[in-house]
Structure 1
Amino acid sequence: MMEKDEFEYAAPAVIFPGQTAHESAYRTAHDLLSRRFPVEALELLEPALAEDPDNIGLRTMRAWAYMLRAQLTKAETELRWLVGQDPSDAWSQHSLGRVLERQDRLEDALGPLRLAAVMSDDYDHQAAVYRVSNRISQRSE
Protein backbone atom coordinates (compact mmCIF):
# COMPACT_ATOMS: atom_id res chain seq x y z
CA MET A 1 0.00 0.00 0.00
CA MET A 2 1.34 3.43 -0.96
CA GLU A 3 1.79 6.06 1.73
CA LYS A 4 0.04 9.37 1.23
CA ASP A 5 3.37 11.23 0.93
CA GLU A 6 4.67 8.78 -1.71
CA PHE A 7 2.02 9.62 -4.30
CA GLU A 8 3.21 11.74 -7.18
CA TYR A 9 1.00 12.91 -10.00
CA ALA A 10 2.60 13.46 -13.37
CA ALA A 11 0.43 15.02 -16.02
CA PRO A 12 0.95 13.62 -19.51
CA ALA A 13 2.34 15.89 -22.18
CA VAL A 14 -0.38 17.61 -24.14
CA ILE A 15 0.29 17.37 -27.85
CA PHE A 16 -2.41 18.47 -30.25
CA PRO A 17 -2.73 16.93 -33.71
CA GLY A 18 -0.13 18.38 -36.05
CA GLN A 19 1.89 19.81 -33.16
CA THR A 20 5.50 18.81 -32.51
CA ALA A 21 6.88 17.96 -29.08
CA HIS A 22 8.83 21.25 -29.13
CA GLU A 23 5.67 23.26 -29.84
CA SER A 24 3.94 21.48 -27.00
CA ALA A 25 6.87 22.20 -24.65
CA TYR A 26 6.81 25.86 -25.70
CA ARG A 27 3.05 26.25 -25.14
CA THR A 28 3.04 24.42 -21.83
CA ALA A 29 6.09 26.32 -20.57
CA HIS A 30 4.49 29.62 -21.58
CA ASP A 31 1.36 28.68 -19.62
CA LEU A 32 3.42 27.68 -16.58
CA LEU A 33 5.50 30.85 -16.68
CA SER A 34 2.49 33.11 -17.06
CA ARG A 35 1.18 31.47 -13.87
CA ARG A 36 4.60 31.91 -12.20
CA PHE A 37 5.78 28.28 -12.11
CA PRO A 38 9.37 28.62 -13.38
CA VAL A 39 10.72 25.43 -11.81
CA GLU A 40 8.09 23.31 -13.53
CA ALA A 41 8.65 25.14 -16.81
CA LEU A 42 12.39 24.50 -16.64
CA GLU A 43 11.77 20.80 -15.98
CA LEU A 44 9.76 20.72 -19.20
CA LEU A 45 12.12 22.89 -21.25
CA GLU A 46 15.44 21.21 -20.48
CA PRO A 47 14.68 17.89 -22.25
CA ALA A 48 13.27 19.73 -25.28
CA LEU A 49 16.34 21.97 -25.43
CA ALA A 50 18.64 18.94 -25.13
CA GLU A 51 17.12 17.76 -28.42
CA ASP A 52 17.08 21.19 -30.08
CA PRO A 53 19.56 23.53 -28.32
CA ASP A 54 19.21 26.36 -30.86
CA ASN A 55 15.42 26.61 -30.66
CA ILE A 56 14.82 30.33 -30.14
CA GLY A 57 11.30 29.91 -28.74
CA LEU A 58 12.37 27.38 -26.14
CA ARG A 59 15.42 29.45 -25.17
CA THR A 60 13.18 32.50 -24.78
CA MET A 61 11.00 30.53 -22.36
CA ARG A 62 14.12 29.40 -20.48
CA ALA A 63 15.35 33.01 -20.19
CA TRP A 64 11.96 34.01 -18.79
CA ALA A 65 12.09 31.16 -16.28
CA TYR A 66 15.58 32.18 -15.15
CA MET A 67 14.38 35.76 -14.73
CA LEU A 68 11.43 34.65 -12.58
CA ARG A 69 13.77 32.57 -10.43
CA ALA A 70 16.21 35.50 -10.15
CA GLN A 71 18.96 33.36 -11.67
CA LEU A 72 20.33 36.50 -13.23
CA THR A 73 23.65 35.17 -14.51
CA LYS A 74 21.93 32.33 -16.35
CA ALA A 75 19.25 34.73 -17.63
CA GLU A 76 21.93 37.12 -18.89
CA THR A 77 23.75 34.34 -20.74
CA GLU A 78 20.53 33.17 -22.35
CA LEU A 79 19.43 36.68 -23.29
CA ARG A 80 22.82 37.60 -24.77
CA TRP A 81 22.54 34.52 -26.98
CA LEU A 82 19.01 35.53 -28.02
CA VAL A 83 20.07 39.11 -28.79
CA GLY A 84 22.97 37.72 -30.82
CA GLN A 85 20.53 35.65 -32.87
CA ASP A 86 18.09 38.53 -33.42
CA PRO A 87 19.20 42.02 -32.33
CA SER A 88 15.81 43.41 -33.44
CA ASP A 89 13.90 41.40 -30.81
CA ALA A 90 12.62 44.11 -28.46
CA TRP A 91 11.61 41.60 -25.77
CA SER A 92 15.11 40.11 -25.59
CA GLN A 93 16.74 43.55 -25.57
CA HIS A 94 14.43 44.84 -22.83
CA SER A 95 14.80 41.67 -20.77
CA LEU A 96 18.59 41.82 -21.05
CA GLY A 97 18.48 45.42 -19.87
CA ARG A 98 16.25 44.51 -16.94
CA VAL A 99 18.52 41.63 -15.91
CA LEU A 100 21.54 43.94 -16.00
CA GLU A 101 19.60 46.56 -14.03
CA ARG A 102 18.70 43.97 -11.40
CA GLN A 103 22.42 43.21 -11.09
CA ASP A 104 22.99 46.96 -10.52
CA ARG A 105 24.96 47.22 -13.77
CA LEU A 106 23.09 50.34 -14.80
CA GLU A 107 25.47 51.61 -17.48
CA ASP A 108 25.42 48.22 -19.19
CA ALA A 109 21.61 48.07 -18.92
CA LEU A 110 20.97 51.42 -20.57
CA GLY A 111 21.96 50.34 -24.10
CA PRO A 112 19.60 47.37 -24.43
CA LEU A 113 16.82 49.27 -22.67
CA ARG A 114 17.15 52.20 -25.09
CA LEU A 115 17.12 49.87 -28.09
CA ALA A 116 13.99 48.13 -26.84
CA ALA A 117 12.25 51.44 -26.17
CA VAL A 118 13.01 52.74 -29.66
CA MET A 119 12.03 49.48 -31.37
CA SER A 120 8.78 48.95 -29.50
CA ASP A 121 7.58 52.43 -28.50
CA ASP A 122 6.21 50.65 -25.42
CA TYR A 123 5.53 52.81 -22.36
CA ASP A 124 7.09 50.27 -19.97
CA HIS A 125 10.24 50.17 -22.07
CA GLN A 126 10.47 53.96 -22.09
CA ALA A 127 9.87 54.06 -18.33
CA ALA A 128 12.75 51.62 -17.79
CA VAL A 129 15.11 53.92 -19.72
CA TYR A 130 13.96 56.89 -17.64
CA ARG A 131 14.34 54.95 -14.36
CA VAL A 132 17.85 53.68 -15.15
CA SER A 133 18.98 57.08 -16.48
CA ASN A 134 17.79 58.72 -13.26
CA ARG A 135 19.57 56.15 -11.12
CA ILE A 136 22.81 56.73 -13.05
CA SER A 137 22.41 60.51 -12.61
CA GLN A 138 21.83 60.12 -8.88
CA ARG A 139 25.01 58.07 -8.53
CA SER A 140 27.13 60.77 -10.11
CA GLU A 141 25.83 63.53 -7.83
Structure 2
Amino acid sequence: MTEGTFEAYRRAESLLAANRPLDALRWLEPVLESNPDLPSVHLLAARCYLHSAQFTRAERSFRRVLELDPTDHYARFALGRTLQRQSRLSEAITQLRMAAAMNPKPDYLEAVNEVRARMMLREKDTGT
Protein backbone atom coordinates (compact mmCIF):
# COMPACT_ATOMS: atom_id res chain seq x y z
CA MET A 1 0.00 0.00 0.00
CA THR A 2 1.47 3.35 -0.97
CA GLU A 3 1.54 6.28 1.40
CA GLY A 4 -1.34 7.96 -0.44
CA THR A 5 -3.55 4.89 -0.39
CA PHE A 6 -2.67 4.29 3.26
CA GLU A 7 -3.78 7.83 4.09
CA ALA A 8 -7.03 7.27 2.15
CA TYR A 9 -7.55 4.01 4.06
CA ARG A 10 -7.04 5.77 7.40
CA ARG A 11 -9.42 8.55 6.34
CA ALA A 12 -12.04 5.93 5.44
CA GLU A 13 -11.58 4.32 8.87
CA SER A 14 -12.11 7.70 10.54
CA LEU A 15 -15.22 8.42 8.52
CA LEU A 16 -16.70 5.04 9.38
CA ALA A 17 -15.95 5.66 13.06
CA ALA A 18 -17.80 8.96 12.68
CA ASN A 19 -20.80 7.02 11.30
CA ARG A 20 -20.30 8.28 7.75
CA PRO A 21 -20.01 4.99 5.83
CA LEU A 22 -20.91 6.40 2.42
CA ASP A 23 -18.21 9.05 2.68
CA ALA A 24 -15.81 6.36 3.85
CA LEU A 25 -16.61 4.27 0.79
CA ARG A 26 -15.74 7.18 -1.50
CA TRP A 27 -12.28 7.38 0.07
CA LEU A 28 -11.92 3.61 0.01
CA GLU A 29 -12.75 3.03 -3.68
CA PRO A 30 -9.28 3.86 -5.04
CA VAL A 31 -7.69 1.84 -2.23
CA LEU A 32 -9.77 -1.18 -3.23
CA GLU A 33 -8.81 -0.75 -6.87
CA SER A 34 -5.10 -0.57 -6.14
CA ASN A 35 -5.08 -3.28 -3.43
CA PRO A 36 -7.60 -5.94 -4.51
CA ASP A 37 -5.94 -8.71 -2.50
CA LEU A 38 -5.67 -7.04 0.89
CA PRO A 39 -8.19 -8.53 3.34
CA SER A 40 -8.09 -5.42 5.55
CA VAL A 41 -9.29 -3.21 2.70
CA HIS A 42 -12.18 -5.54 1.87
CA LEU A 43 -13.05 -5.82 5.55
CA LEU A 44 -13.30 -2.06 5.90
CA ALA A 45 -15.43 -1.88 2.75
CA ALA A 46 -17.69 -4.65 4.08
CA ARG A 47 -18.15 -2.78 7.35
CA CYS A 48 -19.04 0.39 5.43
CA TYR A 49 -21.58 -1.51 3.35
CA LEU A 50 -23.06 -3.11 6.45
CA HIS A 51 -23.35 0.23 8.25
CA SER A 52 -25.09 1.73 5.22
CA ALA A 53 -27.51 -1.23 4.97
CA GLN A 54 -26.08 -2.44 1.65
CA PHE A 55 -26.34 -6.06 2.73
CA THR A 56 -25.65 -7.74 -0.62
CA ARG A 57 -22.46 -5.75 -1.06
CA ALA A 58 -21.49 -6.33 2.56
CA GLU A 59 -21.99 -10.06 2.13
CA ARG A 60 -19.90 -10.11 -1.03
CA SER A 61 -17.07 -8.18 0.67
CA PHE A 62 -17.09 -10.32 3.81
CA ARG A 63 -16.96 -13.42 1.61
CA ARG A 64 -13.99 -11.91 -0.25
CA VAL A 65 -12.19 -11.38 3.05
CA LEU A 66 -12.79 -15.04 3.90
CA GLU A 67 -11.47 -16.12 0.50
CA LEU A 68 -8.28 -14.21 1.23
CA ASP A 69 -8.11 -15.18 4.91
CA PRO A 70 -10.35 -18.08 6.00
CA THR A 71 -9.14 -17.69 9.60
CA ASP A 72 -10.64 -14.22 10.07
CA HIS A 73 -13.17 -14.93 12.82
CA TYR A 74 -14.46 -11.35 12.83
CA ALA A 75 -15.29 -11.53 9.10
CA ARG A 76 -17.22 -14.76 9.80
CA PHE A 77 -19.07 -13.11 12.67
CA ALA A 78 -19.90 -10.03 10.60
CA LEU A 79 -20.98 -12.18 7.65
CA GLY A 80 -23.28 -14.05 10.03
CA ARG A 81 -24.77 -10.78 11.25
CA THR A 82 -25.19 -9.60 7.66
CA LEU A 83 -27.04 -12.80 6.75
CA GLN A 84 -29.14 -12.45 9.90
CA ARG A 85 -30.16 -8.92 8.87
CA GLN A 86 -31.37 -10.46 5.60
CA SER A 87 -33.41 -13.08 7.55
CA ARG A 88 -31.20 -15.86 6.19
CA LEU A 89 -30.99 -17.47 9.59
CA SER A 90 -29.74 -20.95 8.71
CA GLU A 91 -26.86 -19.45 6.74
CA ALA A 92 -26.23 -16.92 9.50
CA ILE A 93 -26.01 -19.47 12.28
CA THR A 94 -23.46 -21.50 10.34
CA GLN A 95 -21.13 -18.50 10.06
CA LEU A 96 -21.76 -17.42 13.65
CA ARG A 97 -21.04 -20.90 15.00
CA MET A 98 -17.78 -21.02 13.07
CA ALA A 99 -16.77 -17.61 14.42
CA ALA A 100 -17.61 -18.72 17.97
CA ALA A 101 -15.65 -21.95 17.51
CA MET A 102 -12.65 -19.99 16.24
CA ASN A 103 -12.84 -17.44 19.04
CA PRO A 104 -15.45 -17.97 21.78
CA LYS A 105 -15.97 -14.29 22.51
CA PRO A 106 -19.16 -13.43 24.42
CA ASP A 107 -20.49 -11.34 21.46
CA TYR A 108 -20.14 -14.32 19.14
CA LEU A 109 -21.78 -16.74 21.56
CA GLU A 110 -24.64 -14.31 22.22
CA ALA A 111 -25.20 -13.94 18.47
CA VAL A 112 -25.42 -17.72 18.06
CA ASN A 113 -27.99 -17.91 20.86
CA GLU A 114 -29.96 -14.98 19.43
CA VAL A 115 -30.19 -16.54 15.97
CA ARG A 116 -30.99 -19.95 17.43
CA ALA A 117 -33.86 -18.39 19.42
CA ARG A 118 -35.19 -16.61 16.32
CA MET A 119 -35.05 -19.86 14.39
CA MET A 120 -36.98 -21.65 17.12
CA LEU A 121 -39.63 -18.91 17.11
CA ARG A 122 -39.89 -19.11 13.34
CA GLU A 123 -40.35 -22.89 13.54
CA LYS A 124 -42.99 -22.47 16.25
CA ASP A 125 -44.85 -19.85 14.21
CA THR A 126 -44.84 -21.93 11.02
CA GLY A 127 -45.54 -25.21 12.81
CA THR A 128 -42.48 -26.98 11.40
Query: In the aligned structure 1, how far is the partner of 2:9 from the partner of 2:72?
Result: 18
Instruction: After TM superposition, list the pairs within 5 Å mapping 1:84-95 onto structure 2.
Output: 84-95=67-78
Q: Is 2:66 the partner of 1:83?
A: yes
Q: Which residue of 2 aligns with 1:40?
A: 23
Q: Which residue of 2 aligns with 1:26?
A: 9
Query: In the aligned structure 2, how far is the partner of 1:33 from the partner of 1:120?
Result: 25
Given that 1:106 and 1:132 are in contact with CA atoms closer than 8 Å, whether structure 2 keeps it comes out as yes
Q: CA deviation at 1:93?
A: 0.2
Q: Which residue of 1 aligns with 2:32?
A: 49
Q: Deviations over 1:45-101 (max 9, x none)?
A: 001212222222211111010000000000001111111211210110001000000
Query: Once structures 1 and 2 are overlaid, which stretch shifts more, 115-124 or 69-78?
Result: 115-124
Query: Once structures 1 and 2 are overlaid, which stretch shifts more, 45-54 or 63-72?
Result: 45-54
Q: Which residue of 2 aligns with 1:100?
A: 83
Q: CA deviation at 1:139?
A: 1.4
Q: Is 2:97 the partner of 1:114?
A: yes
User: How many residue pairs align between the two structures?
Assistant: 123
Q: Percent identity?
A: 37
Q: Tell me which of the two structures has the higher relative contact order, counting C-alpha pairs closer than 8 angstroms and 6 or more residues apart.
A: 2
Among candidates 52, 57, 67, match of residue 50 of structure 2: 67
Runs of 5+ consecutive residues of structure 2 not aligned to the other structure: none
Q: CA deviation at 1:22?
A: 2.6
Query: In the aligned structure 1, how far is the partner of 2:31 from the partner of 2:46?
Result: 14
Query: In the aligned structure 2, how far is the partner of 1:55 from the partner of 1:20?
Result: 15
More helix by share: 2
Given that 1:100 and 1:106 are in contact with CA atoms closer than 8 Å, whether structure 2 keeps it comes out as yes
Query: In the aligned structure 2, how far is the partner of 1:27 from the partner of 1:122?
Result: 27
Q: CA deviation at 1:26?
A: 2.1
Q: Deviations over 1:85-129 (max 9, x none)?
A: 112101100010000000000000011101111222211111000
TM-score, normalised to structure 2, is: 0.90
Query: In the aligned structure 1, how far is the partner of 2:12 from the partner of 2:57?
Result: 17
In our comparison, the structure showing a higher alpha carbon Rg is 1
